[in-house]
């Protein structure tokens, strides 16, 4: 049987809260995919995000271009859409449209009421984050519609992809409008999955026993759940990022996914040569040694094993609990191998870097000062990570073989302690650990592998499952631990074994592990993963043929203003000012019509004397001028 022809989009819109606004992993997904699609779509790949910075200067992710689509932007303004158009400041610099959604927040109740009437989306119980998302989603849909009507002829293949429930209202708006744009709705993690995991309920063994509507009421997320579910049900194509999350979608959202679209990775910012890698590795290693020595008040051995965990502060979901328990078990076991220097690089609320630590690192502070946390934590007495470290006896006592440091700052190169970006520091690690319980995909292990860092993940991470399925060779660069709802202790033991394994390697073996880590990362490059998105877009386009035909007829009757800058049309206008009588200033009429100074206005019949080169005209002068 012949393969079905793939329909490729001529225009692709991607809508997300993380366009020019780094919040989490979706930023990396769509930013790296943009670079891959640059050669295929160019400026026809357009991102739409919220203008969270409004008109303040300083958004490092956005480069405004007043000339880009300026005539359409003027038209959009007449439709009530206040937009900024420019470039997303990432590799490839794709087109980005930022939407001023806050001007419509006073209309949030009306917007939600229409969504309720048309689709049954909850309009009563959502908080402000829900209302803002619904407003932004609808406006994003309106932007796509406006762009289509103004710039396109009607025969182009157009796809709009909406990421996560926060943008789902855009799917519903486009469906209601009838505009022939194929919609794809992608959930990266279901709301119900997050709730179950966050409340320590078993997701995987009992998934078929949960009723989504009932659990949404229990967790007080009815509004969000309703928007997510209706978006999934009404999109032309519904996708998610892994087979694990696909099971959640079928159970909770009432629709099996059409295509699983695993996330890809763009390696353009990883070391391109062995020399570049060696330089980054040495610099990172040097900095890790400096910080560890300063925080522990003890010299770090030259052969120490540096390990780390990063990601969001989700103590159970991200496996931070397993990471700490593994180190505690190793520390209490009489372990006598290489020194273990462990870094928990998890952003948390803080008040800036530890000043005594910074002074010590600059040679001006107390050389005996010791700290386990690099920054002053907000509400430190309630912090789960630091409290657990103390409870498990991981206090970095002098002579301990296992030392643990909590770095609660975003490592953006300006954190005040490391002052190196996360990716640059990643190169200095000997082992990255991500023993996750709930991880729909898992970019952090993929990133670590791409930077040649041997890695541990689990079978409950979408990426871990992907490796098990698609990488059949022996792979010492990565360990995928089997994990389920009940085998926590086995996962801890497996994590301890992985640490001991890496600690026992010699220099030659470490190089083999690093090279294999990089090899494993290649399976998830966008070169290999984009095919799944192409399948999803083609399927979506195949479903809108009827809409295209009916809209062509409708568009013939639609009129849109386009400015003709080559033939300006001059018009005269009369501007009058009206002030209260008490504020009026009475002046003598400039013509002698006999009515000067009176309150009753009289028409002045004196003609206006034409100036040279202008048309003669007759003007009415009033005898009083406020």
Beta strands in 426-534 (DSSP E): 431-433, 455-458, 478-481
pLDDT the model gives residue 268: 80
**Residue 67: CA count within 13 A, CB half-sphere:** 0
Q: Taking a C-beta distance cutoff of 8 angstroms, is the pair 341, 288 a contact?
A: yes
* Rounded Cα distance, 346 and 410, in Å: 8
Q: Taking a C-beta distance cutoff of 8 angstroms, is the pair 521, 449 a contact?
A: yes
Question: Pick from 202, 233, 199: which is nearest to 216 by CA?
Answer: 199
Q: Give the DSSP H/E element, type plus range, for residue 514.
A: helix 507-521
Query: Mean pLDDT for each consecutive 10-residue tract of the chain (626 residues)?
Result: 75 97 88 92 96 78 95 96 96 96 94 95 90 97 97 92 98 95 97 93 93 95 97 98 96 97 87 91 96 96 95 94 97 92 97 96 93 97 97 94 96 94 94 96 92 96 91 87 96 98 95 94 91 96 83 53 41 52 46 44 43 39 39
CA dihedral 190, 195, 198, 202 (to 10 degrees): -90
* Rounded Cα distance, 415 and 352, in Å: 8
pLDDT the model gives residue 523: 86
| Ordered structural domains, the chain, with CATH | 11-265+528-555 (3.40.50.2000), 267-524 (3.40.50.2000), 579-626 (no CATH)
pLDDT the model gives residue 548: 73
* Rounded Cα distance, 27 and 22, in Å: 6
pTM: 0.83
What is the DSSP secondary structure assignment for residue 55, as one 8-state letter?
T
User: For residue 449, what are the contacts with CB-CB under 8 A and spacing of at least 6?
Assistant: 455, 477, 478, 517, 518, 520, 521
User: For residue 279, what are the contacts with CB-CB under 8 A and spacing of at least 6?
Assistant: none
pLDDT the model gives residue 612: 40
């Amino acid at each position: 049987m012949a393969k079905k022809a793939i329909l490729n989009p001529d225009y692709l819109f991607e809508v997300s809260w993380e366009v020019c606004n780094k919040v989490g992993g979706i930023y990396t997904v769509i930013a790296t995919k943009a670079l891959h699609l640059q050669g295929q779509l160019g400026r026809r790949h357009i991102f739409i995000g919220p203008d969270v910075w409004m008109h303040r200067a300083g958004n490092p992710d956005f480069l405004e271009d007043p000339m880009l689509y300026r005539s359409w932007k003027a038209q959009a303004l007449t439709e009530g859409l206040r937009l900024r158009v420019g470039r997303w400041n990432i590799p490839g610099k794709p087109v980005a449209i930022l939407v001023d959604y806050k001007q419509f927040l006073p209309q949030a109740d009306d917007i939600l009421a229409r969504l309720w009437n048309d689709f049954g989306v909850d309009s009563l119980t959502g908080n402000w984050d829900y209302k803002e998302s619904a407003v932004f989603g609808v406006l994003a849909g309106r932007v796509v519609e406006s762009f289509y009507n103004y710039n396109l002829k009607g025969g182009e293949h157009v796809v709009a992809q909406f990421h996560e429930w926060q943008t789902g209202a855009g799917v519903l708006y486009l469906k209601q409008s009838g505009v022939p744009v194929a919609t794809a709705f992608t959930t990266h993690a279901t709301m119900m999955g997050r709730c179950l995991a966050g409340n320590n309920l078993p997701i995987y063994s009992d998934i078929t026993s949960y009723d989504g509507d009932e659990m949404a009421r229990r967790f007080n997320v009815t509004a969000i759940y309703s928007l997510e579910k209706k978006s999934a049900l009404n999109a032309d194509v519904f996708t998610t990022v892994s087979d694990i999350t696909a099971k959640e979608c079928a159970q909770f959202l009432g629709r099996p996914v059409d295509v699983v679209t695993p996330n890809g990775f763009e390696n353009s910012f990883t070391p391109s040569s062995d020399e570049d890698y060696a330089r980054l590795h040495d610099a990172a290693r040097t900095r890790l040694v400096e910080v560890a020595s300063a925080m522990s008040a003890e010299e770090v051995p030259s052969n120490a094993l540096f390990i780390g965990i990063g990601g969001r502060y989700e103590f159970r979901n991200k496996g931070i609990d397993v990471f700490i328990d593994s180190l505690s078990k190793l520390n209490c076991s009489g372990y006598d191998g290489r020194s273990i220097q462990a870094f928990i690089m998890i952003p948390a609320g803080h008040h800036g870097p530890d000043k005594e630590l910074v002074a010590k690192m600059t040679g001006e502070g107390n050389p005996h000062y010791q700290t386990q946390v690099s920054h002053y934590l907000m509400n430190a007495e309630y912090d789960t990570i630091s409290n657990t470290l103390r409870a498990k006896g991981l206090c970095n006592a002098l002579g301990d073989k296992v030392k643990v440091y909590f770095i609660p700052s975003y490592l953006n190169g300006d954190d005040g302690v490391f002052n190196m970006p996360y990716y640059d520091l990643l190169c200095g690690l000997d082992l990255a650990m991500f023993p996750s319980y709930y991880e729909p995909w898992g970019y952090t292990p993929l990133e670590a592998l791409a930077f040649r860092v041997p890695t541990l993940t689990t079978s409950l991470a979408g990426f871990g499952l992907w490796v098990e399925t698609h990488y059949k060779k022996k792979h010492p660069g990565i360990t995928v631990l089997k994990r389920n709802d009940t085998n926590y202790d086995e996962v801890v033991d497996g994590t301890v074994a992985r640490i001991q394994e890496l600690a026992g390697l010699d220099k030659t073996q470490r190089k083999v592990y690093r090279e294999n880590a990089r090899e494993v990362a290649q399976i998830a490059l966008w070169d290999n993963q984009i095919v799944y998105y192409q399948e999803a877009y083609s399927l979506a386009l195949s479903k809108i043929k009827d809409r295209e035909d009916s809209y062509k007829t409708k568009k013939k009757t639609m009129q849109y203003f386009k400015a003709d800058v080559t033939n300006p049309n001059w018009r005269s206008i009369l501007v009058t000012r009206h002030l209260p009588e008490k504020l009026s200033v009475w002046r003598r009429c400039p013509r002698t019509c006999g009515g000067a100074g009176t309150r009753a206005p009289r028409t002045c019949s004196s003609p206006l004397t034409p100036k040279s080169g202008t048309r003669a005209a007759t003007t009415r002068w009033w005898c009083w001028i406020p």
